[in-house]
Amino acid sequence: MKFIKIQAAIAVTAALLLSACQPKGASAPAADSSPPVATVNGTPITRDFFEFYIKGIAGGKSSSELTKEQRDLALDNLVRAEVVAQQADKDGTLREAETQQLLEISRLNVLQQVVSERYLKDKKATEQEVRAEYESQVAAMPRQEYHVRHIQVATEAYAQKLITQIEGGAPFADVARRESMDSSKDQGGDIGWITPDHVDKTFADALQGLKPGEYTHKPVQTQFGWHIIMLAEVRPVSAPPFDSVSQRLQQVVQQKKFRAYVEELMKGAKIEKKL
């Protein structure tokens, strides 16, 4: 999967950068005594490390399963990264506070990923757990969705002026095309079908107080400006079929398991917050 390849590449990049923190000649982990596939200014890139990199970028394949051209390209990538890492050490970039902080974030992210995978290895989501998650999410879904138009302007006074025009017979869509600051102006203010949980609470509250065909007669303020909101239609929300979302829900269940594990670790840790 592309996601796994990206995560592996991140892990390798972090390992390469962290290797620059080691004394010259200690690029690979201490336990890695495999022969080098290349050296950069005397620092080895070991066979085991090269195979780890290949496995990450090639979907679990070994170097022997790649063409010579692919192997050469992969090795060139590692050599290039090592050259840059060594230059970072030479020019002082490695010792800068921001660089060290970025490396620490990479270290934490990589360790969290590895610990998560190890913890969840024998804790696959069961059919019952996935079904329960599905039912929970369906129960929490909004029961209706709304087809909405709106006009967004910068001030309350200007919004009220436009409301007066609409009340006087000006078509809502025409006013939106002429006056709205939102990108929906080209569609006459039409933002399509939405559910209340996807918009600002003030916007959602005003929307749910309308009947189809009605619009707000007082401007509604959100973080984006002042709005005139029109409700075009309402329809019930249908839950997606279980089979279409089961794979994603398996990931949700796994994430919850790991989160619960981390919470237990937190309980056993001595934590002192000093903010």
Q: Express each pLDDT in 193-233 by its tens digit.
A: 999 989 999 999 999 999 999 999 999 999 999 999 999 99
> Is 262 within a domain?
yes
Query: Same structural domain for residues 156 and 93?
Result: no
Which residue range is the domain that position 133 belongs to? 127-138+241-268
Query: Same structural domain for residues 113 and 182?
Result: no
Query: Same structural domain for residues 108 and 173?
Result: no
> Is 273 within a domain?
no
Task: Note the pLDDT of residue 25.
Answer: 40
Query: Same structural domain for residues 253 and 193?
Result: no
> Is 181 within a domain?
yes
SS3 string of the chain?
CHHHHHHHHHHHHHHHHHHCCCCCCCCCCCCCCCCEEEEECCEEEEHHHHHHHHHHHCCCCCHHHCCHHHHHHHHHHHHHHHHHHHHHHHCCHHHCHHHHHHHHHHHHHHHHHHHHHHHHCCCCCCHHHHHHHHHHHHHHCCCEEEEEEEEEECCHHHHHHHHHHHHCCCCHHHHHHHHCCCHHHHHCCEEEEECHHHCCHHHHHHHHCCCCCCECCCCEEECCEEEEEEEEEEEECCCCCHHHHHHHHHHHHHHHHHHHHHHHHHHHCCCCCCC
Query: Same structural domain for residues 258 and 199?
Result: no
CATH number of the domain that residue 192 is part of: 3.10.50.40
User: pLDDT tens-digit profile of 122-142?
Assistant: 999 999 999 999 999 999 998
Query: Same structural domain for residues 11 and 106?
Result: yes
User: pLDDT tens-digit profile of 145-155?
Assistant: 999 999 999 99
- Last residue of one domain, picked from the residues 70, 86, 120: 120
> Is 35 within a domain?
yes
The domain total for the chain is 3
User: Would you place residue 32 in the very low, low, confident or very high pLDDT band (cuts 50, 70, 90)?
Assistant: confident
Query: Same structural domain for residues 199 and 67?
Result: no
Query: Same structural domain for residues 6 and 113?
Result: yes
- Last residue of one domain, picked from the residues 69, 89, 120: 120
> Is 275 within a domain?
no
Whole-structure pTM over 0.85, yes or no? Answer: no
> Is 274 within a domain?
no
Query: Same structural domain for residues 210 and 81?
Result: no
Query: Same structural domain for residues 252 and 203?
Result: no
> Is 201 within a domain?
yes
User: pLDDT tens-digit profile of 33-53?
Assistant: 899 999 999 999 999 999 999
23: pLDDT strictly greater than 90: no
